[in-house]
Structure 1
Amino acid sequence: MELLQLQYFCKVARLEHMTKAAQELRIAQPALSKTISRLEEDLGVPLFDRRGRQIQLNAFGKAFLGKVEAALALLDDGQREIADLAGREQGKVLVSTTTHKCFSEMIGSFLALHPDVQLRITQAPAAEKEQQLIKGEIDFCFTFPPLVREGIDGVSILTEEILLAVPPGHRWANRTTIDLAEAAHEPFISIKEDNPFRWMTDGFCQQAGFAPHIICEVDEHSAVAHFLQTGIGVAFWPQTLGEKAGSAHLIRIQKPYCLRTYQLAWRKDRYLSQSARTFRDYVVRYFVDLQSRT
């Protein structure tokens, strides 16, 4: 059993498509098929169910994939640790984040202080971030709600209020506080259902005793702000994006107390380079200072 066989197997297992896997690996498909067949011969069991040109990971393959991914992750950690000890690590840090204004400002200030760190930033949905972290594809992710899972460690870095935004001229435009139950019959402009922000705000409404009457669903808060200006409804709005609400009026929600918390998460058993540890420590200090100023 060779290391290359295991790496090829992981690629085919993730894609469940031999041609696509061969293209990404930049090798000929017959050579890839032969490598996978040889691995199956070594193990004595098939790892894929084959139906014509279609392949699908079977029970043997699924069990083997978990072990192989863990083994390859350990080898990768070992290489990174040795490179770090030898002074060759070159400061690479892989982070999955959101478009949140506070995170982009923090990343900019970190790079200004640590120009030698090679920070690679990606965006991904919450579920995908968790898988990236588990598979060792990234060092850290910023996530909400916080990940609660064995093998994942993290620290809460940012807690913000969620406010109620009302359009200009709304009857509540002079209010400073409100109980959310008062908005039970209001039309809501909302983030789409597949977004954690929507899950959270639906939960706030449930605590207040109602299901929101959604008249408009959008992908991001900039679109929410646009529709707020039209006066068609009210919306939930993050405190740290207050200035991006335009002319909408923001009201603090007294009951229930609406908060969301972001977490910086990492894998407990993954080796973190000196640069990664420097980044983690900076993030924690940055948001402690930020919260103390607000």
Structure 2
Amino acid sequence: MEFLQLQYFQTVARLEHMTKAAEELQIAQPSLSKTIARLEEDLGVPLFDRKNRQLRLNDYGKLFLERVNRMFLELNEGKREIAERAHQGQTQITLAVSIPRVLPDLLSSFLKEFPNVTFQQVLESTSSMKSQLEKAEIDFCISSVPIEGEEIVWEPLMTEEIYLIVPPEHQLAGKEKIFLHEVKDEPFISMNTGFGFRNVTDEFCREAGFVPNIAFEGDEPGVIGELVRQGLGIAFIPEISLLHKTNPYPNKLSIIEPKCQRTIGLGWSKRRYLSKAGQQFRQYVIEYFSRLSL
């Protein structure tokens, strides 16, 4: 069994198409087919179900792919660990978030203490972050929905209240508290489907007995606040978004029922090697949120 065979198998298993795999690997299809056939011969079982030109990973293939993926993951993590030691420390941290509001103050305060660290940051949905953690493609994620998995650690950081904001001329603008069912017929301005905050707020509405009428979806909280200010709808807003806000959101309302809260947490993979910079960041994030006063 050769290393190259396993790389080829991984690609064919992902695409389940010999021609596409050969094109991606930039080798001739007959050569790739022979390589996979030799691998199956070495293992003594077929890894794919074949029907005409269709390939489907079978149970043997799925079992073997899991081991192969784990092997390549360990090799990659070994390379990262050696690179850190050889170059006196890896200083880049890869971070996925579903809550961009927390980043500016968190990262700027961290970089004041650790100026040599750099960040690669992406805004992702919860499902995307889970996949990236499982594949050990990122160091950390910060999420408002717990991310669970056999090799994933999710550390709760803080619990915050979720409010509603309404336009200045809205009939509810003079109130301080409402029941959520009071706005069941209102147009909502919301985060995109798939983002943690959207999942949380949709569940609040279900608890209140209705499905929200989504008039506009987006991924930028500042834009959502401005659309509410322009009278285009109402929106949920997390308490953390109200911190250090120079241009306050309009007419904040507390929700009496259901209880509208979310817990923000930090996730990482047990499989991914954490550099010294990564360990420092993890500890800093935990301490930062413990100090955060809402």
TM-score range, shorter chain: 0.7 to 0.9
User: Which residue number in structure 1 is paired with residue 162 of structure 2?
Assistant: 162
Matches within 5 A, 1:111-126: 111-126=111-126
Shift of 1:51: 4.8
Residue identity in the other structure for 1:186: E
Deviations 1:191-243 (A, max 9, x none): 344333232112212333x2044051413245533442343432212222334
**Percent identity for Structure 1 against Structure 2:** 43
| Equivalent residues in 2 for 1:44-83, closer than 5 Å | 44-51=44-51, 53-83=53-83
**TM-score (norm: length of structure 2):** 0.83
Letter in 1 for 2:149: R
Query: 2:240 corresponds to which residue?
Result: 240
Partner letter of residue 127 of structure 1?
S
RMSD of aligned alpha carbons: 2.9
In structure 2, the partner of 1:266 is: 268
**Post-superposition shift, 1:30?**
5.0
| Aligned-partner residue type, residue 218 of structure 2 | D
Q: Cα offset for 1:52?
A: 5.2
Indicate the residue corresponding to 2:141 in structure 1: 141
The aligned counterpart of 2:172 is 172
Instruction: Identify the match of residue 284 of structure 2 among 279, 282, 285.
Output: 282
Q: Name the residue aligned to 2:251.
A: 249
Residue by residue, what CA displacement relative to the aligned partner does 1:80-131 show, whole Å, maximum 9, x if unpaired? 3344445555334322223512124323443443343343323332112112
Query: How many residues are matched?
Result: 291
Offset, 1:138: 1.8
Map of 1:199-238 to 2, 5 A cutoff? Answer: 199-208=199-208, 210-220=209-219, 221-238=221-238
Instruction: State the shift of 1:170 in Å.
Output: 1.0
**Are the equivalent residues in 2 in contact too, given 1:168–1:247 (CA < 8 A)?**
no
Helix, strand or coil: the match of 1:255? Answer: coil
Deviation, 1:62, is 1.2
More moved, 10-19 vs 134-143: 10-19
Q: 1:118 to 1:54 in 2, by over 3 A?
A: farther
Distance 1:145 1:42, change over 3 A: same
> 2-side partners of 1:147 and 1:231: how far apart?
35
Over 6 Å off, 4+ runs: none
Shift of 1:27: 5.0
Structure 1 129/193 Cα, relative in aligned 2: closer, same or farther at 3 Å? closer
Q: Distance in 1 between matches of 2:120 and 2:191?
A: 28
